[in-house]
Structure 1
């Protein structure tokens, strides 16, 4: 299992989760990954700043509403890049290296395009009365 996040400034840290996910472990991942990303990208961590933190479609994070999370697109992008490799990774360690390399190569233009799509996605969900959309 891998945890990663993005901001409109680019991809953040990628964390390889080798052990069982617990509440304590997830808290540590957020401290390292999310707070670390803010520090890495020079984003202030003050209490007066509003942040939107959106989780992916892991069953622990899902709700009955449509999945509007753009990180899903990012994971698909990374998977496509890895599947284009020749040779393909043939071990967990090789896959981890490939993930880190492809994660760091995600074009900022691609991420910006995803962020720019959010107002359209919200409008489509509203128009569909919360039902399925093209996203």
Structure 2
């Protein structure tokens, strides 16, 4: 929940409250703190570069690109979390330049 509008609609807010889900305060739009956001970003970039012409190609390209993500990239993202956290604090919530791929 990164304060994205789809996560903060009245309907979602009510459901969370009705179901007693505790939601942590979270700075808006800070993908640097969520390792999967970096992977999605890179997947998008690599997929776009292949220029799919239809949804079938897009699906195929995404699967192929996801399979190409090196395991050490995922490990770096997890291991580098403390460093990214310090950078986000240093940059006062602004985006950092951390990439793995």
Structure 1 position 99 matched with structure 2 position 42: no
Give the gaps of 5 or more residues in structure 2: 9-24
Cα distance in 2, alignment partners of residues 81 and 65 from structure 1? 27
Over residues 2-41 of structure 1, what are the superposed CA-to-partner deviations in whole Å (9 max), with x where a residue is unaligned? Answer: xxxxxxxxxxxxxxxxxxxxxxxxxxxxxxxxxxxxxxxx
Cα distance in 2, alignment partners of residues 97 and 56 from structure 1? 29
Give the gaps of 5 or more residues in structure 1: 1-54
Aligned partner of 2:48 among 61, 75, 83? 83
- The corresponding residue for 1:72 is 37
Aligned length: 78
Aligned partner of 2:6 among 51, 54, 60? 60
**Aligned-CA RMSD value:** 2.9
Bigger helix share: 2
TM-score (norm 1): 0.45
Bigger strand share: 1
- Preserved CA contact (<8 Å) 1:56 1:69: no
Cα distance in 2, alignment partners of residues 93 and 73 from structure 1? 24
Cα distance in 1, alignment partners of residues 90 and 49 from structure 2? 37
Cα distance in 2, alignment partners of residues 134 and 78 from structure 1? 18
Aligned partner of 1:131 among 77, 93, 100? 93
- Preserved CA contact (<8 Å) 1:82 1:98: yes
- Preserved CA contact (<8 Å) 2:27 2:93: yes
- Preserved CA contact (<8 Å) 2:3 2:26: no
